[in-house]
Structure formats: C-alpha cells, structure tokens
Amino acid sequence: MTHKGSSLYRGYALFLLPGVLAFLVLILFPFLANIGLSFTKWSGVGKPVWIGLANYERAISDSSFWASFKNNLLLIVAMTIIPTIVGLFLAAFLFDYIADKFGQGVASIFRAGFYLPQIIPLVVAGIVWRWIYQPQWGALNGLLRFLGLDSLARPWLGDHSTAMYAVMGMMVWFQIGYPLVIFMAALQRIDPELYEAAALDGASWLQKFFRITIHLIRPEIAVVVLTTAIHALKIFAPIYSMTRGGPGKATIVASYFSYQNFFERSNVGYGATIATILTLIIVLLTIGFILAQTRREE
C-alpha cells in the first residue's frame, strides 16, 4: 500500500516540475544573483568589485533611502487601510441595502463600477490622473475654479506638500474595487439565519456588522490586507508615470529608488541592495502575517 502511494506521489511530482523550474529560473536564481550584486560596486559594465557591506552601510545613512520607505508606508495607508475600511462598509451597504431594495442586478452594476479601475493598467491610470492634476487645464483645478475656489487650485503633483497626497488619492480610487469584490463574495457565504436571529434579539445594523459580518469574513480581510500591503511596498508604475519620484524626494518609493540606481545612475550594486532589503521586508511581512493567521485559526 505504501509502495503504491509512493508511486502515485512520484507521478504527481512530474506535473510539479515545470512550476519548480520556472520558480528556480525566474525567481530564485535572479534573487540570489541580486543578493550577490548587493555586495559589489558595479556600473553595469565590466567586472563587479566586491565591497562587502558598504552598500548596506550607505543605505542606513542615506536620507533618500529612508524617504522612499516612509512614502511606502503612506501608500500602505492609501492602498490597504483606507480601501479595506471603505470596501467593508460599501460591500455591506450594497449587500444589505441595495441588493435588498433594488435587486441583485443593481448591486452587481455598482460592484462592477467600483471594480472598473482595477482592469485599467496602472500606468494608464497614472497618466490619466496626471492629466486630471495638470495645473493649467486639469479637471481638478478646472472644477475648483468653476466652484469659485481659485485659491485651492495648485500644481498638485509639482508642489512638494501635495504631491504624495495626490498620488495617494489616485491609489485610493484605484484600489477600492478590489476589497469590495472580495468582501461581497465573502458575505454571500454567511448564513442569513444568523442575521435573522440577531434581528430578533434587537441587534442594530452596526451591531450585526461588527459582531457577525467582520467576525465571519476575517479570512478574506486577512487576504486583502496582506496582498494590498505587498502591492503597496513594491509599487512602481504610478510613481513612474505621474511624478518620477519628484518633486525632490516627495514621492520617491523604494522600488523606484532602486530603479534609479540600476538604470539611471549606473549604480547597480546599490540598486541591488535596495531591492534586496525591499524583498526581505516583503518576505518577512508575509511569513509573519501567515503565522499570525494560522495561530488565530488554531
């Protein structure tokens, strides 16, 4: 019996081979090569020179390095915290009120509308929002002038004090549909009798929301928080298409800072160092989150 089982598993192992090879060639080997480059000084041409931990010591004292990670934390607020909270309330509102009053079809139209930005390439969305924020003919300043609020009109992406918040606003708009769709799917698996029993006990909508809904869809909330936080840490496209990290260091993020060192400054070793640190942070965050989720489920 054991022999048959082992043969069976060996048969399945063949189907895993393409995935394992793809992982080794596309992920593991490039990551190990990146780690190796992070200990060198290399312009991209010629032979890399081994410098040990010098790039890591440089990163610790580099204000641009810390500014990039601070901006990544702000993007976690815009891409994880705000969309998750808003998505939760919107999903519950569409599921409990719109679907009940106007039918499932109307709720699906709203859900599709909120999800629409997710199907737009992020670079394209960034370019469109750059036009919206354009100081002379952009839609936002045009609307403010139309409403008589000329004093509020400004170069949103060119002003050091507003550039990061303008990018965050765009990312909130882009991200809300993702948690909304996941939470609405999660709500459909909750037994309606739980809500009926709570209503008979006199529970309000908010009490049912916090004590039943949130409690029962915690796995989906965890997935949304983890995936969006990882997305926020490795974000690149909107920064590239909207601000190129400027003005100054106002909107620089870790992935774009790494790109600048790799391809614009020919400082490949330092770019590899930033990429390595960013990857390790994402891996540790993922492991910690999965361990915490596993303990909670046990």
Q: What percent of the chain has pLDDT over 90?
A: 69
Confidence (pLDDT) at 179: 94
What tens digit of pLDDT does each residue of 184-219 get?
A: 999 988 888 998 898 888 888 888 888 898 889 988
Report CA-CA distances (Å) from 98 to 158, 183, 199, 214: 41, 15, 19, 19
- 70, containing H or E segment: helix 63-76
Confidence (pLDDT) at 2: 47
Mean pLDDT across 49-58? 94
Residue 297: pLDDT band (50, 70, 90) is confident
Strand, helix or coil for residue 265: coil
Confidence (pLDDT) at 20: 92
What tens digit of pLDDT does each residue of 124-154 get?
A: 999 999 999 999 999 999 999 999 999 899 9
Residue 224: pLDDT band (50, 70, 90) is very high
Mean pLDDT across 171-188? 93
Query: Rounded distance, CA 36 to CA 199, Å?
Result: 61
Confidence (pLDDT) at 9: 64
Residue 79 pLDDT more than 90? yes
| Cβ contact 118:124 at 8 Å | no
Torsion of CA 212, 215, 218, 224, to 10 degrees: 60
Confidence (pLDDT) at 1: 46
What tens digit of pLDDT does each residue of 232-279 get?
A: 999 999 999 999 998 988 999 999 999 999 999 989 999 999 999 999
What tens digit of pLDDT does each residue of 7-46 get?
A: 656 677 788 889 999 999 999 999 999 999 999 999 888 8
Query: Rounded distance, CA 217 to CA 221, Å?
Result: 6
Q: What is the CA radius of gyration of the chain?
A: 24
Residue 72: pLDDT band (50, 70, 90) is very high
Residue 6 pLDDT more than 80? no
